[in-house]
Homo-oligomer: A and B are copies of this chain.
Amino acid sequence: MQHTSQDLVRRYWQAANARDWAAFAELLAEDIVYEVPQTRERVRGRAAYLVFNQTWPGNWEAELLRVVGEGKSQGGQAVSEIAFHVRDAHGVRTETGISFFEFDATARICRIVDHWPAPYAPPPRACDCIERF
């Protein structure tokens, strides 16, 4: 059975939201590497990456907004954009998460690079062609 890289990314987020760690682990390569370039954090290996996700604080849910992928999952890539809703003692807050997924030759996820772009004040611009929303 062949799955596209997009299919596997949808399953990844479904399994994460369901806290179905067996299904989640099946999608991952043994030697997966997870990185957050903004904080220079890295997690190596499936076992560590599972703990990292299982211990994520708060009651969270990843709302999958879109997936862009190359089709083939073996050796392929895909990107997801999520609205990450976290309910904790401070209420509910939502962050944007962008994840680059790389797949190995057996269609398991071998690398994830996560970005968490946060709001910032618009910079000075040299044109008057910009509106705000």
In A93-131, which residues have CB < 8 Å from any B CB?
96, 98, 100, 115-127, 129-131
Chain B residues positioned under 8 Å from A121 (CB to CB): 39
Instruction: Tell me whether A125 and B70 are in contact (CB under 8 A).
Output: no
Which chain B residue shows the least CB distance to A81?
A: B100
Q: Which range contains the number of A residues in contact with the other chain?
A: 35 or more
Residues 77-89 of chain A, each 1 if its beta carbon lies under 8 Å from chain B, else 0:
1110100000000
Q: Is the Cβ of B39 less than 8 Å from the Cβ of A119?
A: yes
- Residues of chain A whose beta carbon lies under 8 Å from any beta carbon of chain B: 35-44, 48-49, 51-52, 55-57, 66, 68-71, 77-79, 81, 96, 98, 100, 115-127, 129-133
